[in-house]
Amino acid sequence: MEKEVEEAIDKVRKFRQEKKISILTLSVESGVSRSHLFYIESKKTVPSLETLAKIAHAMGLKLKDFFV
């Protein structure tokens, strides 16, 4: 897994925890399954940009926030 991807995944978890959003809530808000979110945060799968955009939108963020 590339460093940039790992850092983006770390930011997904960081922002989710900072906003006190559960994986279940994020799943409902983003339309991404709980299991897929779990695999993303566990770095067992690489999310598509479309999936990251859904996650960002559900948390009130922009996709670029995961990459800066």
Which pLDDT belongs to residue 39? 98
What's the whole-model pTM score?
0.93
Indicate the CATH number of 3-66 among 3.50.50.60, 1.10.260.40, 1.10.10.10, 2.60.120.10. 1.10.260.40
pLDDT in tens, 6-45: 999 999 999 999 999 999 999 999 999 999 999 999 999 9
Helices 49-58 and 23-30, axial angle in degrees (round to 10): 110
Q: Where are the alpha helices (DSSP H) in the chain?
A: 3-18, 23-30, 34-41, 49-58
Q: Are 41 and 9 in contact (CB under 8 A)?
A: yes
Domain range list for the chain: 3-66
Rounded alpha-carbon distances, angstroms, from residue 42 to 17, 18, 57, 60 = 14, 17, 21, 22
Is the pLDDT score of 1 beyond 80? no
Q: What SS3 state is found at 5?
A: helix
